[in-house]
Structure 1
Amino acid sequence: MMSLKNVLVATDFGEASAAALSYGRELARTFGATLHVLHVADDVYMRLGGDAYVAVLPELQKDIENAANRQLDELLIDNDAKPLTIKKAVVTSAATAVAVVQYARDMNIDLIIVGTHGRGTMAHLLMGSVAERIVRTAPCPVLTVREREHDFVTPDALTTIAQA
């Protein structure tokens, strides 16, 4: 039987991430797992010309991290009566996928859940996909969730429907 103790949802605060968070909440509740919610804030650099960049003021970077923490707090307001242990984190990195995978390793994550935008092939070829890079390098299974085309149905809900 599969055991989930730590579930990680990586969020960019978009629609697909909101759908991923819904899945993460339900899976964490179902398995009694800790839900980790991670946002990777971009490192902020200023271009000096050519290939030269310099990091911006540490205060600005701190403001960005504080804003991300406030967004996470709002995102994690939960009106469900079922208990859920949540750990939130904001890390700063220029490489989102690398940061997510490193967090998963550091925290012994059993499942990573990420939203995906389902871009067409040309956009995917040009831009790549953070979700795809996570899938290729993650130390555990990865569940990708598209924007709200469907809702997560818990095993309890299926039992209730079957008994009706």
Structure 2
Amino acid sequence: MIDIKKILIPTDFSETSQAATQYAVELAKKFGAQLHLLHVIEDPVVYMPMFESYALPPKEDFENFAKTRLDNWILDEDKAGLEISTHWVHGNPFVDILKYSKREEIDLIVVGTHGRSFTAHLLLGSVAEKVVRKASCPVLTVRPKGHQFIHPISDDE
């Protein structure tokens, strides 16, 4: 029997992460699992070259943003009955997702995937793909525009 006690949701606060979060919340409810929300704060110079010529916002601004978003990432009505743990770190997304999952003995990682084109994938790589290939636990990838298994509850149920 599959026993899932800890589910990790790495989030970059995108639409794809929100779709993955919906799956993770439902799985956590079904298995009575603890949810771990993780945001990795990347060095802005990596993805925003314009900061080379402008002053960077203070590190605390990125940390406060991450904390606020993580605290409000799951809707209050979805939080009922769930144990949720939020964390943020500075680093490289795929490396720190893997480190966190090992350290916390995560049973399942639920990650959104952007589904970029082949060319964009070659240039940018894919955090989700790297996590799938290197994680020591199962990984569920979710595309926001893909087939959805979560259906709204009707009034008859």
CA distance in 1, matches of 2:12, 2:137: 20
Go from structure 1 to structure 2 and tell me whether the alpha carbon gap of 1:107 and 1:121 turns closer, same or farther (over 3 Å shift).
same
Q: Where has structure 1 moved over 6 Å in runs of 4 or more?
A: none
For normalisation by structure 1, the TM-score amounts to: 0.80
In the alignment, which residue of structure 1 is the partner of 2:64? Answer: 66
In the alignment, which residue of structure 2 is the partner of 1:131? Answer: 128
Partner of 1:132, secondary structure, is: helix
1:29 touches 1:82 (CA, 8 Å); kept in 2? no
Please give the residue correspondences for 1:38-53 in structure 2 after superposition, counting only pairs within 5 Å: 38-44=38-44
Deviations 1:26-82 (A, max 9, x none): 001100000001010113559xxxxxx9xx88x811221111110111212321474
Q: Which runs of 5+ in 1 are unaligned?
A: 47-52
In the alignment, which residue of structure 1 is the partner of 2:7? Answer: 7
In the alignment, which residue of structure 2 is the partner of 1:142? Answer: 139
In the alignment, which residue of structure 2 is the partner of 1:88? Answer: 86
Query: How many residues get paired?
Result: 148
Quick one: which amino acid aligns to residue 37 of structure 2? V
Deviations 1:76-104 (A, max 9, x none): 232147401000101110x1100000000
The alpha-carbon deviation at position 4 of structure 1 amounts to: 0.2
In the alignment, which residue of structure 2 is the partner of 1:36? Answer: 36
In the alignment, which residue of structure 2 is the partner of 1:50? Answer: none
Q: How high is the sequence identity, in percent, across the aligned residues?
A: 46
Which residue, 106, 113, 125 being the options, matches 2:110?
A: 113
In the alignment, which residue of structure 2 is the partner of 1:77? Answer: 75
Which one is further off, 5-14 or 72-81? 72-81
Q: Which runs of 5+ in 2 are unaligned?
A: 47-51
The answer to which structure has the higher strand fraction is 1
CA distance in 2, matches of 1:81, 1:69: 17
Go from structure 1 to structure 2 and tell me whether the alpha carbon gap of 1:144 and 1:81 turns closer, same or farther (over 3 Å shift).
closer
Which one is further off, 125-134 or 74-83? 74-83
CA distance in 2, matches of 1:148, 1:26: 18
Quick one: which amino acid aligns to residue 67 of structure 1? F
2:94 touches 2:127 (CA, 8 Å); kept in 1? yes
In the alignment, which residue of structure 1 is the partner of 2:96? Answer: 99
For normalisation by structure 2, the TM-score amounts to: 0.84
The alpha-carbon deviation at position 111 of structure 1 amounts to: 0.3
